[in-house]
DNA sequence: AATATTTGATACCTTTGAGGTATTAAAAAA
DNA sequence: TTTTTTAATACCTCAAAGGTATCAAATATT
């Protein structure tokens, strides 16, 4: 390349900080290896042959490309580039997640993401298989192969259709809806969560009449809105569905709390995962204050 | 690359025909140079990091690209690829040229061409400057810096409008149109050719009355067709404009001939030029027989 | 549980080949 | 004619690529 630019053996050798003879030899060897004459030499001048001209242009492109690859490799290593497979539960407030993604897009455009709405069980298994890089899900997580950070703990809320008599009741205790049909998360789909709710009801002294089961938060709220029953949901869900015809009654007295966490594999070595989780924790902290 | 494929130092070293320790060192040096960890090593397994995975894919592309570049360089060297700047005079039969280009397109798609209709003078100067690789033009060429091959020698023909009385004349000598207006190639545009025609007329005992000058063959034929005069053209032109309302009277008795040649620079080193000229001469010979 | 085997890393030695020096032949400049 | 400049050649030197021996840790085998 340098000789192709200089078209002068001595000057090219100078630029390469070597002496002229080794350069002459290098070029000869290259031509021998390709089986193609690249330079037209005479005592008075050195010129590129057509093949040499072509090779010079192409190799210049290769070098440019190689440099950009090296830059990107460095970015990936620093967690400034990469692709993330992210899972989240439907009940998690998507507010923080959306902010994180906007921030990433603005400051670290090298990081791209794929998002999957998945329940906690599915997320843990996909994380284990390496199909998922990060999961935003609901505690407790039994496995010990994950690094887990709490995003927030919150009370549950009783979810009732708008105009339900209980909102005028003075005590607002869970027992008051013991006789009403309940809408739960499907048991085999999210057993931990199912059990949580069941225990709450039992402690309140009744076994709920489960009229319907659903597999995501949106369906539950819709069913309640249509008057098909009541449900118990994390209180933050009230932020997600403000404009629907439902009411939320925070269950402060039960003492039960639910915890949303972010998790990734202990043996994770994708730098972008750390970038993502750090940003998530930072923005989450800001929102919590 | 080999380690990224094998994910096993010993096996990779084996494939590279070196022992394992130097490979370990090479990888360590590469990682040091990039400042990025590419492999996740443990005693039980070797894996690519995200950065390593990216680098592997990109470098694989670079290698593929490099191979295709080497192939093309070899093709250029063998005259099987390249780009040719070709000049030709408007009076040359384009039949051979068209056949050459079709043959090239079919058998040597790596060779692309740019065609320029130019007079002999312009072609010789562009050839000298290196703006043109090959010229198809009319002899004589004065310069000694070209390799020149004769394509064909031919008689001139008197070009007259269809129905001109001379076609019924028994002798068909040039003198018979001495009084008629002539259409010539512009003198400063193609002086050699102009002089040729002038000498012919002089030898026939008259000085032509030049009513119009034109700068390409097509214009001349059109002007004659419209009855604006007569002209003298190479006989092969009759093959090019068969369907126009003109007649050609071959001037066999004058003894004057015109020669079409192909030329390129003596110091030409573009292999595709030789491919082109050889093909041109071969096809021309076939046509002449 | 004990032993054998396999793995990548380390230390140190060997040798190849990249680079340097001296010089030449030919062309260009003085 | 002399001097300078250029790329090529011959030969030498030494750095760096590769090899050998070995280690420590993890598996596999007994």
Q: How far apart are CA A141 and CA A98, in angstroms?
A: 24
CB within 8 Å: B73 and A62? no
| pLDDT at res. A23 | 94
Mark the nucleotides of strand C covered by protein, meaning any atom under 7 Å from a CB.
Answer: 6-12, 18-22, 25-28
CB contact under 8 A, A77 and B270: no
Residue A108 has what pLDDT?
Answer: 93
Residues whose CB is below 7 A of strand C: A 17-22, 25-26, 29, 42-44; B 8-10, 20-21, 24-25, 27-28, 41, 43, 46
User: CB–CB of A62 and B59 under 8 A?
Assistant: no
Is residue B206's pLDDT more than 90?
no
For residue A141, is pLDDT > 90? Answer: no
Give the best-scoring range by mean pLDDT among A51-60, A87-96, A160-169. A51-60
Query: A9 vs A1, A21, A34, A166, A185, CA distance in Å?
Result: 12, 9, 20, 93, 78
Contact A280, A262 (CB under 8 A): yes
Greatest C-alpha distance within chain B: 105
B272 by Cβ neighbours in 10 Å (0-12 / 13-18 / 19+) ranks as buried
Protein residue closest to C10, using CA and C1': B21
pLDDT score at B172: 72
- CA neighbor of A43 nearest in space, from A10, A68, A74: A10
CA dist., res. A101 & res. A111, Å (int): 10
Give the range among A44-58, A170-184, B10-24 with minimum mean pLDDT.
Answer: A170-184
What is the phi-psi region of residue A7: left when phi exceeds 0, alpha when psi lies from -120 to 50, beta otherwise?
A: left
Measured between CB atoms, which of A51, A72, A77 is closest to B73?
A51
Instruction: Find the closest chain A residue to B58 by CA distance.
Output: A69
Q: Which nucleotide is nearest to A20 (CA to C1')?
A: D7
Q: C14 C1' – B120 CA distance, angstroms?
A: 68
Band (A83; pLDDT cuts 50, 70, 90): very high
Residue A283 CA to residue A100 CA, distance in Å, equals 7
Task: Judge: A77–B36 Cβ closer than 8 Å, yes or no.
Answer: yes
What per-residue confidence (pLDDT) applies to A132? 95
Per the structure, the residue whose CA is closest to nucleotide C8 at C1' is B43
Mean pLDDT of chain B: 90
Q: If you count residue pairs, one on A and one on B, with CB atoms under 8 Å apart, how many are there? A: 75
Q: Would the CB atoms of B74 and A35 count as touching at under 8 Å? A: yes
DSSP string, chain A: -HHHHH--HHHHHHHTTS-HHHHHHHHHHHHHHHTS--EEE-SS-EEE-HHHHHHHHHHHHHHHHHHHHHHHHHHHHTTSSEEEEEEE-TTS-HHHHHHHHHHHHHH-TTEEEEEEE--HHHHHHHHHHTS-SEEEEES----SSEEEEEEEEEEEEEEEETT-GGGG-SS--GGGGTTSEEEEE-TTTSHHHHHHHHHHHHHTT---EEEEEESSHHHHHHHHHTTS-BEEEETTHHHH-TTSSEEEEEE-SS--EEEEEEEEETT---HHHHHHHHHHHHHHHHHH-
Chain A residues within 8 A of B58 when measuring between CB atoms:
69, 72
Query: Distance (Å) from CA A78 to C1' C5?
Result: 38
Determine the pLDDT at residue A36: 93
Record: contact B74-A40, CB cut-off 8 A:
no
The number of C-alpha atoms within 13 Å of A94 and in the hemisphere containing its C-beta is: 14
DSSP B15: H
Residues in B closer than 8 angstroms to A57, CB to CB, are none
Please work out, in degrees rounded to the nearest 5, the angle formed at the alpha carbon of residue A36 by the alpha carbons of A31 and A41. Answer: 65
Distance in angstroms: CA B19, C1' D22: 15
pLDDT greater at residue B134 or residue B144 = B134
Whether pLDDT at B266 is above 90: no
Give per-residue pLDDT as tens, A4-34: 999 999 999 999 999 999 999 999 999 999 9
How far: B44 CA to C16 C1' (Å)?
34
Q: Do A73 and B36 touch (CB under 8 A)?
A: yes
Q: Name chain A contacts of B69, Cβ cutoff 8 Å.
A: 54-55, 58-59, 62
- The number of angstroms, rounded, from the C-alpha of A227 to the middle of its chain's C-alpha atoms is 36
pLDDT band at B278 (very low <50, low <70, confident <90, very high): very high
| pLDDT grade for B115, boundaries at 50, 70 and 90 | very high
Rounded distance between C-alpha atoms, residue B247 and residue B13, angstroms: 81
- Spell out which residues of chain B touch residue A35, defining contact as CB-CB under 8 Å: 74, 77
* Res A166: pLDDT: 80
**Bases on strand D under 7 Å from any protein CB:** 5-11, 17-21, 24-27
| A7 Cα to chain B: minimum distance (Å) | 17
Q: With 90 as the cut, is the pLDDT of residue A147 above it?
A: yes
Q: What is the pLDDT of residue B179?
A: 87
Residue B176 DSSP label: G
Beta-carbon contacts of A120 under 8 Å, excluding residues fewer than 6 positions away, are A89, A135, A137, A138, A141, A190, A192, A193
Higher pLDDT, B163 or B274: B274
pLDDT at residue B208 is higher than 80:
yes
Name the pLDDT band for A195 (thresholds 50, 70, 90). Answer: confident
Predicted confidence band at B167 (pLDDT cuts at 50, 70, 90)?
Answer: confident
Q: What is the pLDDT of residue B194?
A: 86
Residue B191 confidence class, pLDDT cut points 50, 70, 90: confident
Cα B93 to Cα B84: distance, rounded to the nearest angstrom: 19
CB contact under 8 A, A50 and B74: no
Model confidence pLDDT, tens digit, residues A197-245: 888 888 888 898 898 999 888 899 999 999 899 999 998 888 888 888 8
Identify which of A65, A70, A272 has the shortest CB distance to residue B34.
A70
Q: Which residues lie across from B234 on neighbouring strands?
A: B156
Higher pLDDT, A163 or A59: A59
């Amino acid at each position: 390349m340098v000789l192709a630019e200089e078209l002068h053996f001595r000057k090219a050798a100078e630029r390469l900080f070597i002496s002229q003879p080794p350069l002459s030899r290098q070029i000869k060897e290259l031509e021998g290896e390709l089986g193609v004459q690249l330079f037209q030499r005479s005592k008075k001048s050195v010129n590129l042959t057509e093949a040499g001209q072509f090779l010079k242009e192409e190799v210049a492109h290769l070098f440019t490309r190689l440099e950009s690859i090296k830059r990107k490799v460095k970015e990936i290593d620093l967690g400034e580039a990469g692709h993330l497979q992210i899972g989240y539960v439907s009940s998690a407030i998507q507010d923080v997640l959306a902010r994180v993604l906007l921030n990433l897009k603005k400051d670290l455009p090298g990081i791209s993401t794929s998002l999957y709405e998945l329940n906690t069980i599915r997320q843990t298994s996909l994380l284990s298989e390496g199909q998922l890089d990060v999961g935003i899900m609901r505690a407790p997580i039994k496995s010990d192969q994950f690094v887990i950070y709490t995003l927030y703990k919150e009370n549950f809320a009783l979810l009732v259709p708008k105009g339900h008599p209980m909102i005028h009741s003075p005590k607002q205790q869970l027992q008051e809806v013991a006789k009403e049909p309940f809408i739960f998360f499907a048991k085999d789909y999210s057993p931990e969560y199912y059990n949580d709710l069941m225990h709450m009801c039992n402690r309140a002294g009744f076994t709920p009449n489960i009229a319907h089961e659903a597999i995501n938060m949106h369906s539950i709220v819709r069913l309640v809105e249509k008057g098909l029953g009541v449900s118990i949901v994390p209180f933050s869900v009230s932020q997600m569905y403000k404009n629907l015809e439902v009411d939320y009654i925070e269950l402060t007295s039960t003492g039960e709390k639910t915890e949303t966490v972010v998790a990734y594999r202990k043996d994770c070595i994708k730098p972008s995962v750390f970038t993502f989780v750090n940003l998530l924790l930072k923005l989450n902290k800001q929102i919590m204050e």
